Structure 1
Amino acid sequence: MSENWRLDPDRALPADAEIRKQARAIYDEIASLPLVSMHGHVDVDLFAANKPFRNPADLLIVPDHYLVRMLVSQGYTPAELGVPFTDNGGTVAGAEASDVETDSRVIWRRFCENWRLFRGTPTRYWLEHEFAEVFGLSAPPSAENADDLYDELTAALARPEFRPLALLDSMNVEILATTDSALAELDSHAELARTLGPDRIVPTFRPDSLLHVRHQSWAKEIAQLAEVSGIATDDYAGYIRALEQRRRAFVAAGARATDHGHVSADTTPLARTEAERIYTAALRGEATAAEADAFSAHMLFEMARMSTDDGLVMQLHPGVLRNHNARIHEKYGADKGFDIPTRVEFTRSLQPMLEEFGLSHDFRCIVFTTDETVYSRELAPLAGAYPSLRLGAPWWFLDSPEQMRRFRESAIETAGFYNTSGFVDDTRAFASIPARHDLARRIDAGYLGKLVAEGRLGPDEACETAIDLTYNLPRHAYARHERNA
């Protein structure tokens, strides 16, 4: 192995020489700006414990569903990559807990032996940035150097500067939002607020399982909602009050936003009596699929109403069919891959919510999608009209160089830059956060450089816009509402 691994300083910038020149100048203005990470899924307890990472596999492979997904597509099982089963007793559908690979060096070797699989993917870009820029490894992974790289990483992870909170500083993360169950006690957030200050690591309110009455754990979680809120949930009125109480608890803990991952974007409200009827039927286990869908749409409308009261930004990202493979879900639980995008409609679906709240200064909603066909047809026109609506950056499945470029090309001409949210990284893979932000900055620099080269923007305007996209827009989009400031 060579002693130094240096990445191409112009990676992901446009190939055209003149545009690249403009893009490089723009990128230089934003490369070192702080990271505003307002939509992520790193576990808050990682920071509260602040312990050394156990090994390279647990840090870089097991929690990265992009990486695991690619290797599974080539014939590995999640268990062979260290992904644990979701059961409590040691067996799931006849599979022994011992089937899960626990030797982190073996997991690491399997990854290195398959490095070629990631060519051309954003995962390749993120991993290269992590390995070379964050951890200072000496060479790209391969079957031949797997053990050497494992030893290099293990030695690095033992040092104090590679503990979670130290990495947060060295990565230049100014603020990090986690995503937390609506039932979370938020104790870890309270402790971090005392030690780091109130605006460094903040929670995000995620109530999905409580809003879908046919969710497999809905009845159990409704009982937990009553316990954690101190409000009985044996009728619809109590259920609503309990959700409002949990939102207030999140606001008090520093939350800026809610997060909603429904299959549909439907926000059609129900009459109060109908909502009460479906809720009562759900408590008896008698709600139909159609009633459940109608109730979840109604509850998105209710979440918007609550946002006008408590100031939490509403993040909506519909259009993903979760747990596409029942056996994978049964064995490994949610968020382990096999979530597949679907076509989604926004114009009519969001109309009830936007007619009621879209012109209100007290309501803010950021909409994301995994269906890029709706950017120019639906989302950009909506964001370009309603002052409460912002168009979220390409995320999940779309956070690749080509699709981020297409996002700018299809959305900006209608929505403009300033009706967008800035970049969000949406990751559980902690060490990939700076890599994801860096890639987005390079793509934006390339797009703005093209506008300069075409005479459509001046160089100063392009740099100012790049700074706004990178830092000011996400800070503004997720700013603490004056009602809870």
Structure 2
Amino acid sequence: WTKRLSAISGKNADTFEGLIAALNKRHDDFAAAGCRATDHGLEYLPDVTCTDAEAKSIWEKAQKGTAATFTESEKFTAYIMLHVGRLNHAKGWTTQLHLGPVRDPNLGLLNRLGSDAGCDTIGDYRQGPGLIRWFGTLSGENTLGKTIIYNINPADTALFACMIGSFQDGITAGKIQYGSGWWFLDQERGMRDQMNALSDLGLLGQFVGMITDSRSFLSYPRHEYFRRILCDLVGSDVDSGRIPNRAEWTEKLIADVSYQNAKKYFGFKL
């Protein structure tokens, strides 16, 4: 991986300084191609600090063949995630954090078929401390950009829905987002729970709505599935008297969540 990164970036990623230069160069390359977001799949964000010197030592030791310890791995992950967050803020990109899965827990299946054989599952990791440290560090530096966080464990739904409110800036509407139901929560109950939690603890009207796995063409119909659930949720709230029966309001809410908010948030010229 290091050799491929070095070759495509023109930077020597064997050294720590070269690694950072290579990541910066690839970030610039993707920006030139029109990229607007990064997406990171992690078990959790580590609740640790890591200095430049520590990150340099961890990387260069690994390049010499010494595997990082668990603590070193957490430190390096935290360091790189902060670095990417700063890069994204500088370019106006969105950082997406998909947190919580356990990969390849079935060792028998892993040994027979290899990785990603279909037995990943929901993890039971503590998400709050690392997220708060990441958000807090960047906000303290005034380098916190637009961010969307996604949970895979339904136990974290209220945590995520509430946390985004702690880091809004009062300038960019919906700057920090609680993302749509993802993976095992990408089904009716998961979508309803996510939107209800966002309504209870945040503001549904600024939600950027459903995303899709662009690697799978057959995943695109989930947008229609999502819109039907959203319409049913809003319609039920109207019928029960929870929100006013004003078509001009509810139609705008549904259109915004289904399309307009994402268009504005990501700067799509459609």
Q: Pick the TM interval, shorter chain.
A: 0.7 to 0.9
1:398 correspondence with 2:168:
no
Please say which of residues 418-427 and 398-407 is displaced more in the overlay.
418-427
Given candidates 51, 60, 76, the residue that maps to 1:295 is: 76
Letter in 2 for 1:401: E
* CA distance in 2: counterparts of 1:406 and 1:263, whole angstroms: 21
1:415 alignment partner in structure 2: 202
* CA distance in 1: counterparts of 2:149 and 2:29, whole angstroms: 24
Given candidates 249, 264, 267, the residue that maps to 1:476 is: 264
Q: Is contact 1:384–1:416 with CA below 8 Å preserved after alignment?
A: no
Q: Is contact 1:265–1:345 with CA below 8 Å preserved after alignment?
A: no
* CA distance in 1: counterparts of 2:147 and 2:165, whole angstroms: 13
1:231 alignment partner in structure 2: 11
1:350 correspondence with 2:131:
yes
* CA distance in 1: counterparts of 2:197 and 2:203, whole angstroms: 10
Counting only pairs closer than 5 Å after superposition, residues 27-426 of structure 1 correspond to structure 2 as: 221-266=1-46, 268-286=48-66, 287-358=68-139, 360=142, 363-376=145-158, 378-387=159-168, 388-426=175-213
* CA distance in 2: counterparts of 1:421 and 1:344, whole angstroms: 26
* CA distance in 2: counterparts of 1:396 and 1:346, whole angstroms: 17
Query: What's the CA shift for 1:454?
Result: 2.2
Letter in 1 for 2:145: F
Structure 1 unaligned spans of 5+: 1-220, 481-485
Structure 1 length as normaliser, TM-score? 0.50
1:463 correspondence with 2:251:
yes
Query: What's the CA shift for 1:333?
Result: 4.4
* CA distance in 2: counterparts of 1:476 and 1:345, whole angstroms: 32
Structure 2 unaligned spans of 5+: 169-174
2:231 alignment partner in structure 1: 445
Query: What's the CA shift for 1:418?
Result: 3.8
Q: Is contact 1:382–1:389 with CA below 8 Å preserved after alignment?
A: no
2:172 alignment partner in structure 1: none
Query: What's the CA shift for 1:331?
Result: 5.0
Aligned residues: 259
* CA distance in 2: counterparts of 1:296 and 1:371, whole angstroms: 21
Is the alpha carbon distance of 1:254 and 1:323 closer, same or farther for their aligned partners in structure 2, counting shifts above 3 Å? same
Query: What's the CA shift for 1:421?
Result: 2.6
- Where relative contact order (Cα < 8 A, 6+ residues apart) is larger, the structure is 1
* CA distance in 2: counterparts of 1:268 and 1:419, whole angstroms: 32
After superposition, give the CA deviation of every residue in 1:360-400 in whole Å (9 maximum; x if it has no partner). Answer: 48611111111122222x11112223224111100111111
Is the alpha carbon distance of 1:298 and 1:268 closer, same or farther for their aligned partners in structure 2, counting shifts above 3 Å? farther
After superposition, give the CA deviation of every residue in 1:307-365 in whole Å (9 maximum; x if it has no partner). Answer: 12222211111111112234544554444311111123333212222223347486111
**Higher gyration radius (CA):** 1
After superposition, give the CA deviation of every residue in 1:167-192 in whole Å (9 maximum; x if it has no partner). Answer: xxxxxxxxxxxxxxxxxxxxxxxxxx
Letter in 2 for 1:425: T
* CA distance in 2: counterparts of 1:255 and 1:327, whole angstroms: 39
Q: Is contact 2:6–2:13 with CA below 8 Å preserved after alignment?
A: yes
* CA distance in 2: counterparts of 1:330 and 1:309, whole angstroms: 43
Query: What's the CA shift for 1:263?
Result: 1.1
* CA distance in 2: counterparts of 1:345 and 1:411, whole angstroms: 20
After superposition, give the CA deviation of every residue in 1:55-93 in whole Å (9 maximum; x if it has no partner). Answer: xxxxxxxxxxxxxxxxxxxxxxxxxxxxxxxxxxxxxxx
Q: Is contact 1:307–1:363 with CA below 8 Å preserved after alignment?
A: yes
Structure 2 length as normaliser, TM-score? 0.87
What RMSD, in angstroms, separates the aligned Cα atoms of the two structures? 2.2
